[in-house]
């Protein structure tokens, strides 16, 4: 893992935005894996600001990590609505190239297998944007999820339901299930770009970076990913034992002339 501790989420998102936008400059047909939630919002702003300044996203293909199960896409809380509102509507992207798991699929297994097939047919995900749950989840892969899982139907934990209640009027409205890429799916991305902000992520960040690799903290699987870039703010980094070293290593990168 390449770990960068930033002063603010703004700084972290600017650096993450440079990575995504530069990759699109090099490959206009880049395949992006995307996440919802509050974490990537500033990154998405970096992306559509670059687009407004002339970087075309027209040919970029995207695959979202997850979608609530049983929630109509028109609902403002659906992840499709979230993506349209917070990113896609601000880009020149062809909507046909944007994919979100089908939370209304009748045959869920078939639909999940189809989603995996589409990603493969696109050449696989080049950069997967990730946020982390306070319990260490990635996508909707909750603690206890298999680290080799593929896109599948997931039962949400009470904690995730509680965390996501802020987007609904009451907890009983939060769907209990979701369709999510599996940890195994995420691990196939060529690059994982993980952003973590705020002190309520500090335990999860500690587990992801310095804990043992375990399905108890699904994000810890990223320790085995060959190209994971992590941008965290000071608050999210506050429980890291080797925090001073990560900063030192960032200032003195191991590059030979
Ligand atoms: C959402 C997703 C989740 C979030 C995580 C953090 O598509 O995959 O794993 O990244 O729950 O959410 P926020 O960013 O709202 O703290």
Section 6-17 average pLDDT: 98
Q: Is the distance from CB of 185 to CB of 150 less than 8 angstroms?
A: yes
**9, 34, 36, best to mutate for ligand 1 pocket (most atoms within 8 Å of CB):** 36
pLDDT of residue 257: 64
Q: pLDDT category, 253, cuts 50, 70, 90?
A: confident
Q: pLDDT category, 224, cuts 50, 70, 90?
A: very high
3-state SS, the chain, equals CEEEEECCHHHHHHHHHHHHHHHHHHCCCCEEEECCCCCCHHHHHHHHHHHHCCCCCCCCEEEECEEECCCCCCCCCCHHHHHHHHCHHHCCCCHHHEECCCCCCCCHHHHHHHHHHHHHHCCCCCEEEEECCCCCCECCECCCCCCCCCCEEEECCHHHHHHHHHHCCCHHHCCCEEEECCHHHHHCCCEEEEEECCHHHHHHHHHHHHCCCECCEHHHHHHHCCCEEEEEECCCCCCCCCHHHHHHHHHCCCCCC
Annotation says 142 is catalytic: yes
Q: pLDDT category, 255, cuts 50, 70, 90?
A: confident
pLDDT of residue 163: 85
Question: What are the tens digits of pLDDT across the range 160-213?
Answer: 899 889 989 999 999 999 999 999 999 999 999 999 999 999 999 999 999 999
Pocket flag, ligand 1, residue 182 (CB < 6 Å): no
Question: What are the tens digits of pLDDT across the range 123-167?
Answer: 999 999 999 999 999 999 999 999 999 999 999 999 889 988 998
Question: What are the tens digits of pLDDT across the range 108-124?
Answer: 999 999 999 999 999 99
More confident residue, 49 or 251: 49
Closest C-alpha to ligand 1, atom 15: 37
Closest C-alpha to ligand 1, atom 12: 37
Annotation says 102 is catalytic: no
pTM equals 0.96
Question: What are the tens digits of pLDDT across the range 19-74?
Answer: 999 999 999 999 999 999 999 999 999 999 999 999 999 999 999 999 999 999 99
Q: Measured in angstroms, how far is the CA atom of residue 37 from the centroid of ligand 1?
A: 5
């Amino acid at each position: 893992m390449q770990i960068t501790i930033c002063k603010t989420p703004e700084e972290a998102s600017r650096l993450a935005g440079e990575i995504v936008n530069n990759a699109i400059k090099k490959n206009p047909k880049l395949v992006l894996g995307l996440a919802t939630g509050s974490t990537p919002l500033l990154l998405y702003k970096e992306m559509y600001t670059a687009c407004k300044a002339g970087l075309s996203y027209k040919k970029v293909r995207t695959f979202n990590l997850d979608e609530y199960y049983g929630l109509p896409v028109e609902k403002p809380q659906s992840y499709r609505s979230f993506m349209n509102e917070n990113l896609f509507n601000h880009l020149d992207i062809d909507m046909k190239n944007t994919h979100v798991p089908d939370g209304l699929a009748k045959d869920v297994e078939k639909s999940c297998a189809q989603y995996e097939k589409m990603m493969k047919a696109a050449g696989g995900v080049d950069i997967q944007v990730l946020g982390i749950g306070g319990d260490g989840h990635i996508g909707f892969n909750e603690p206890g999820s298999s680290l080799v899982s593929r896109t599948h139907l997931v039962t949400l934990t009470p904690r995730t339901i509680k965390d996501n209640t802020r987007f609904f009027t009451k907890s009983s409205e939060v769907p209990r299930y979701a369709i999510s890429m599996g940890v195994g799916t995420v691990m196939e991305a060529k690059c994982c770009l993980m952003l973590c902000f705020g002190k309520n992520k500090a335990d999860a960040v500690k587990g992801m970076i310095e804990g043992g690799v375990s399905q108890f903290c699904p994000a810890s699987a990223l320790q085995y990913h060959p190209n994971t870039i992590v941008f965290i703010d000071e608050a999210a980094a506050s429980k890291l034992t080797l925090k001073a070293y990560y900063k030192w290593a960032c200032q003195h990168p191991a590059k030979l002339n």
